[in-house]
Structure 1
């Protein structure tokens, strides 16, 4: 992706997530919450932990509860403000994952929960995590057909505009691809670093987490998507009233096979890679 297109996408994401800082919990935080325990397997009391793409600070707070010294960063000002409001005892900063404002080796553990789904240059972001921490863990969504709460609304809104060019959301949706991303951070020195070599190679392990996100109603799914995603929500918001009604009707059709009583059990798969 060109630098200009990457900058435009970052601005779009930062604005979108800032606008949704207060509504993120309705759906998205419950889904991402399945990744907290496996990500924190690396964290020990006293560890210096960096949470990159921290959102409203839930993962950072969980790490702090384990006795870690935690700093969270996010590109979206609104998310940083929300994290500070919720967790006033922790440190949260606005920062770009692709250019972290910390010296080499400043942290013991760097966490990137679903970061690689959103940054235009995931390789640069992971190099930065490896630069500032001795150990890195990443979480990413699995294949689209195994993450129903995202895939079904995206399919229902397919063909609508309102979204700038961005990274392929499926790029790291397999164990091999996510492991390779973390391994490439070992192999490729950052071109901005001059002669500085990449960190020494370490083994990459990937854990697969499978569960189901339970949603009480179609209204809860619809509102949760609009308040907890950026790309799909932007398509819905840019649509006409007639188009929006068709998207909702199509979502109801797609979600029907997952119905359980009055609500839905939407399967999800999360990949957690670590060095």
Structure 2
């Protein structure tokens, strides 16, 4: 949710009601953070701030940032007590260091991983921790392949539309190490993710995949969506439920002293 080059338009209401699994499934990585009373915690790509609120419930002093003003507005309406602002994760800086930086389901929108790592390192005190989960190598590969195949079939060049950064575990660990982090945990794992209702694929494409359709007419888009569903149905529609082929990368790291 912080990729400046992306054309994606965030619909906060749809995000909360049809893609609520994003925050709900963030509980596992939040448990790795273990926020403590009195700590300062920065949440990068906080979306509508559900997990930021959970961090605050633990007694931490939280700050949430997201590139999308729509998402921040929704978060403020739900959690007026929180410190939330629309900020670019590439350039965000703070004068008061944080004890921890957290991010869930956001870093794959930020293709310049080194710029984000600089931001995280500059935000943390020495010894501070970074805990994140986001899309890893071959995340939603079936969805992407079906979408690109359908676009090509209807005369749209598919190359250059994919907005995401899905690194391997080793690739991302190397990024953090290059910026003064000690990586203490890195996991790459499959997490098949149920989508809500018969319209699950279409809702996912509407919410996540604007970049693939920026020049596609409404009529062509409807046909391409149907084609994507038909390609995915044999392997990704089970007992009336669409399943997205999520693969996640989870990382914990400490900022080493200068």
Q: TM tier, shorter chain?
A: 0.7 to 0.9
TM-superposed deviation, 1:45: 2.3
Contact 1:49-1:111 within 8 A present in 2 as well: yes
- Name the residue aligned to 2:76: 84
Q: CA offsets per residue over residues 5-42 of structure 1, 9 Å max, x none?
A: xxxx71655x723xx12211244441454233224412
Distance 1:166 1:158 in 2: 10
Q: CA offsets per residue over residues 161-218 of structure 1, 9 Å max, x none?
A: 799968862452x1111211221221xxxxxxxxxxxxxx423421334332223444
TM-superposed deviation, 1:238: 3.4
5 Å-filtered alignment, 1:163-174, equals 169-172=164-167, 174=168
- More helix per residue: 1 or 2? 1
- Name the residue aligned to 2:99: 108
Q: CA RMSD in A?
A: 3.0
Length, aligned pairs only: 244
- Name the residue aligned to 1:196: none
- Residue 139 of structure 1 pairs with residue 133 of structure 2: yes
- Name the residue aligned to 2:200: 220
Determine which of 88, 105, 130 is the counterpart of 1:96: 88
5 Å-filtered alignment, 1:7-156, equals 10=4, 12-13=6-7, 16-17=9-10, 20-31=11-22, 33-46=24-37, 47-103=39-95, 106-133=97-124, 134-144=128-138, 146-147=139-140, 150-151=143-144, 154-155=147-148
- Name the residue aligned to 1:253: 230
TM-superposed deviation, 1:120: 4.4
Contact 2:135-2:166 within 8 A present in 1 as well: no
SS at match of 2:81: coil
Question: Cα distance 1:85–1:128, how it changes in 2: closer, same or farther (>3 A)?
Answer: same
Q: Any unmatched runs of 5+ in structure 2?
A: 254-258
TM-score, reference length from structure 2: 0.80
Distance 1:111 1:162 in 2: 36
TM-superposed deviation, 1:53: 1.2
Distance 1:260 1:210 in 2: 17
SS at match of 1:63: helix
TM-score, reference length from structure 1: 0.76
5 Å-filtered alignment, 1:220-239, equals 220-226=200-206, 228-229=207-208, 232-236=209-213, 238-239=215-216
Distance 2:159 2:81 in 1: 36
Structure 1 stretch displaced more, 57-66 or 29-38? 29-38
Contact 1:52-1:110 within 8 A present in 2 as well: yes
TM-superposed deviation, 1:264: 2.1
SS at match of 1:93: strand
Distance 1:266 1:66 in 2: 32
Q: CA offsets per residue over residues 235-257 of structure 1, 9 Å max, x none?
A: 33632244223312221222211
- Name the residue aligned to 1:182: 176
Q: CA offsets per residue over residues 71-98 of structure 1, 9 Å max, x none?
A: 1011221111111011112110121112
Question: Cα distance 1:38–1:241, how it changes in 2: closer, same or farther (>3 A)?
Answer: closer
